[in-house]
Structure 1
């Protein structure tokens, strides 16, 4: 994978907890990558339109609690 420039979400908390969502874009193919900073090896890849739809649902509060099951 190329050297990616990850950008922290402006909605992530600034409390120093280290938990935030980060995004990176790969120009070839227009893929958007998402990861959570405390699990940086797990990366979700999505097309820009799918990423926009996911973010729109999150902003509307339609996904409920999305805590991971471990």
Structure 2
């Protein structure tokens, strides 16, 4: 089974950093992180916004607005 890191072609450190910034919010089961399609979509959105030269802080603010207003995918 392919891991989340393999699916999105990144590093564990990058994923943990995005989690610390609340950009990725995996669910938990038996003390293990569970990443779903939403997390893959969020990761791809982060990378697309970075390609547009947005900083992680700017992306973080956009995610906060999205979550507080219920915008986008569940």
TM-score interval (norm. to shorter): 0.3 to 0.5
TM-score (norm: length of structure 1):
0.37
TM-score (norm: length of structure 2):
0.36
- Structure 1 or 2: more helix by fraction: 2
RCO higher in structure (CA 8 A, sep ≥6) = 2
